[in-house]
Structure 1
């Protein structure tokens, strides 16, 4: 049976023993602090000894400063409150809380669980403890996009993985490893900027500790995967991991370049519908394609504890391959798609938003705002001819001093020459939209794709028009075909 997964086999396959590794980690941890405190005490002894004989010299003062640097790096750190929103109310998500509670109970986790919606394609879990270290509550972060891609069991497998770090018999190991690595990594990073060479041994030891402990932490990830597979099956667990890997860069790009900007403009657009449109988009605009490509999937560091997807899949189900599993959905756990979106907006936005479909977002929200931006200014399309786009593009390509002086942001700017060009070009591209709007074109927005201006069956992409102008391939005749000749010219 698939559910009868041998956890120890999985662990042995990865040549890691979390218990033995934790013992090594404890020894390294003790050595780290003994070395650090011993070095600090040795440095402090120098000025103290000199004081007993008179006045400390330069070496004594340097040793005192070095000791202070070490002790500052060792200071206890409070975990910062990043403004985590209040959890979902149990009465508003009874099915989801029941599902999570059943998984936790089956794995022997007795702590209270609070569920938060997350703006990422992932499931995370943090914890709170009493003053003596007893686990009091768990905070489960549930990524919204997972609800429209994963089945209920696939979502359960991800939740079970997170519970695996707190399961009976392992409750203190995972959190302790994470906290210890975070604390020592922060101390090592603090000392990395120090000018005192006496700190070098300590800093090197800290970095070595982080690298060595990564193996222990990754072994725990394999253990949690095996536990999830034992609860929900190997195929289900592999499919869940594949979907997360597939969706993470897509959702990150969608949220940053489509959803958040729409909310910033005051629109309450359909979240899930926009994401589906985004995923189905054919030719994506450059910044969106770049964001997807640059997503830090494979950016491994010494502090990264997650093995690669390939290794995780091979450990759970050898030979499973990397094929994309079919999509599913489990929005019913939050009462349906509409209720899930309502919960998301309640979580992450407390202002007044106007409901708007993606079909009408461009014409009803973006276009009027761009029109208002230039109305009455020197760039008002009623005054500045569209034909001057060629002149402005020439200046942007050379040295946009004239345009920069008129379009620069308020306050002191430290932008590079290239950044200044980009800033000016973005404003000029919006002015192109305003100019086409003044000539009867309507703005159309499709998530992930370039903005389009449409009139009587004719489509113009402002980004392509701008690129042609900057590339000096745009002709006055091409612009004249979009608008009648205007006599007023206030650009120069």
Structure 2
């Protein structure tokens, strides 16, 4: 393909830049070690030749020790091999055929294992024997890619990853990444030091980061070129645009909706929940902030990936990003249900029970929230709902009673957020105690509803916000009390109405406790 020459200056150029990165990395550490020796020599020389330590020696010694601390090696978490079985060839025969066909075109002959991952990304790694021959290819494909890309677009993503593989980026990339992190950590630790040590290393570090980032960006351009060579420019471009579009939404959905639901032991319909999550409407504050944060990244010269606009323009000169309609290629694994079943193999099946988004709040969240406070000092039967007025005004006062077990390293804001999370669930528990049921919609704040004595709907988050601003009054909370009849009559009326509406009967306070 002619365009590939325009997109990438060539692998030889990338290798030359990588060699320069190595030289700069070595120079950085030689400079650092030389400076440490020079600084620590000053107090040593003063004590040896003058028999006294002067002010300049003290400053130099402290500066040298500060630099030693900043240069300390950081322990990295060891990456453990995944114990999850790869996708079954019987279920995903078409997907295996696609991957193996691309590998064959690149003259790679090795068994392929495909794994599903949760992120909107993909990877390829190779296991080699002692002779360097590839024993197997481990291919990771993001679950959202199957749910939003066409078959051609998914193929271009896989070809892109193979572009890194055949270009040697998989062996070069981790080294460049670790080197970048090492120097970046050193510069960060020296930032605003009292001895101006950060100035020299900051400029050197920026020079290094700028050059190493350019190596990574050229690798991306070259991989895009290979994807376009096999699956066409249109499919490669639309795949880039779609991944850029869905990644903030998917990562937020995974962190704030699907992940918490799975942590509660619920096996939820994944793609149905994501479709609901993406519907137009007001998202709750935490979700909206997470989406905004994910979308707010601005391109800089230190980025390891080119911006979407740069990659699109490299593929189609003069073109600007657009956002084509989403599609899906889950037929490659046997359909939506089979795809979700394959992904849920990542989890302990004995800890998950099937659930759905319509009844998740009432059948899963509600019993767990009730159980969380039952028998504690915050049990709704013991702690009056009106206490929320004062507790919300000064949430920090509740930290000592609500802090997690063990040593806490939370900041003051982190402590406040921890208390507020518990208070919001306690509000829900109090409302459950008063006959309300939870309705949870992906992306939105949970709402609570009851039909008697009159239809009412309220959001625990709104009550908490009223308390934080001082506008919540005890008289306002009184409207959520049960009617002034006997508890048994009130609960019987609620149970009858709930059963008629097809809902699970509410528990009485005695059985709830």
TM-score (norm 2): 0.78
Counterparts of 1:416 and 1:27, CA distance in 2: 41
Distance 1:101 1:375, change over 3 A: same
Per the alignment, residue 16 of structure 2 pairs with: 23
Bigger shift: 111-120 or 265-274? 111-120
Cα contact 1:445–1:452 (8 A) shared by 2: yes
Per the alignment, residue 102 of structure 1 pairs with: 101
Counterparts of 1:125 and 1:225, CA distance in 2: 15
Distance 1:113 1:20, change over 3 A: same
Aligned-pair RMSD on alpha carbons? Answer: 3.8
Distance 1:141 1:89, change over 3 A: closer
Displacement of 1:311? 0.8
Distance 1:30 1:359, change over 3 A: same
Write out per-residue CA displacement over residues 16-60 of structure 1, whole angstroms, 9 at most, x where no aligned residue: 44423422432452464477569869999999xxxxxxx99999x
Displacement of 1:343? 1.1
Pair 1:429 & 2:427 matched: no
Structure 2 counterpart of 1:9, from 6, 11, 14: 6
Per the alignment, residue 214 of structure 1 pairs with: 213
Per the alignment, residue 272 of structure 1 pairs with: 271
Per the alignment, residue 51 of structure 1 pairs with: none
Counterparts of 1:312 and 1:239, CA distance in 2: 11
Q: Secondary structure at the match of 1:114?
A: strand
Displacement of 1:482? 1.9
Structure 2 counterpart of 1:479, from 477, 480, 491: 477
Q: Secondary structure at the match of 2:445?
A: coil
Displacement of 1:82? 4.1
Write out per-residue CA displacement over residues 390-417 of structure 1, whole angstroms, 9 at most, x where no aligned residue: x43334324642x334333333444444
Per the alignment, residue 467 of structure 1 pairs with: 465
Counterparts of 1:35 and 1:354, CA distance in 2: 54
Cα contact 2:257–2:443 (8 A) shared by 1: yes
Distance 1:38 1:133, change over 3 A: farther
Pair 1:257 & 2:256 matched: yes
Displacement of 1:180? 3.5
Cα contact 2:123–2:141 (8 A) shared by 1: yes
Bigger shift: 196-205 or 457-466? 196-205
Distance 1:421 1:397, change over 3 A: farther
Counterparts of 1:202 and 1:111, CA distance in 2: 45
**Structure 2 matches for 1:26-65, cutoff 5 A?**
26-30=19-23, 32-33=25-26, 36=29
Cα contact 1:281–1:449 (8 A) shared by 2: no
Counterparts of 1:202 and 1:135, CA distance in 2: 40
Cα contact 2:120–2:143 (8 A) shared by 1: yes
Counterparts of 1:197 and 1:89, CA distance in 2: 55
Displacement of 1:480? 2.4
Structure 2 counterpart of 1:84, from 78, 82, 86: 82
Per the alignment, residue 438 of structure 2 pairs with: 443
**Structure 2 matches for 1:241-320, cutoff 5 A?**
241-280=240-279, 282-295=281-294, 298=297, 304-320=303-319
Q: Secondary structure at the match of 1:481?
A: helix
Pair 1:158 & 2:152 matched: no
Displacement of 1:354? 0.9
**Structure 2 matches for 1:126-145, cutoff 5 A?**
126-131=125-130, 133-145=132-144
Cα contact 1:440–1:455 (8 A) shared by 2: yes
Counterparts of 1:461 and 1:74, CA distance in 2: 49
Displacement of 1:441? 1.3
Displacement of 1:204? 6.2
TM-score (norm 1): 0.81
Cα contact 1:90–1:97 (8 A) shared by 2: no
Write out per-residue CA displacement over residues 141-187 of structure 1, whole angstroms, 9 at most, x where no aligned residue: 210011111111110011111111233xx3x3x23431341343244
Displacement of 1:442? 1.0
Counterparts of 2:24 and 2:375, CA distance in 1: 69
Q: Secondary structure at the match of 1:378?
A: coil
Q: Secondary structure at the match of 2:480?
A: coil
Counterparts of 1:414 and 1:24, CA distance in 2: 42
Structure 2 counterpart of 1:407, from 387, 399, 402: 402
Gaps of 5+ in 2: 41-47, 485-513
**Structure 2 matches for 1:286-435, cutoff 5 A?**
286-295=285-294, 298=297, 304-386=303-385, 388=386, 391-398=387-394, 400-401=396-397, 403-435=398-430
Cα contact 2:144–2:250 (8 A) shared by 1: yes
Gaps of 5+ in 1: 48-54, 487-492
Bigger shift: 403-412 or 125-134? 125-134
Pair 1:175 & 2:161 matched: no
State how many pairs are aligned: 463
Displacement of 1:378? 3.0
Q: Secondary structure at the match of 1:283?
A: coil
Counterparts of 1:135 and 1:111, CA distance in 2: 6
Displacement of 1:114? 2.5
Displacement of 1:476? 3.6
Counterparts of 1:383 and 1:78, CA distance in 2: 47
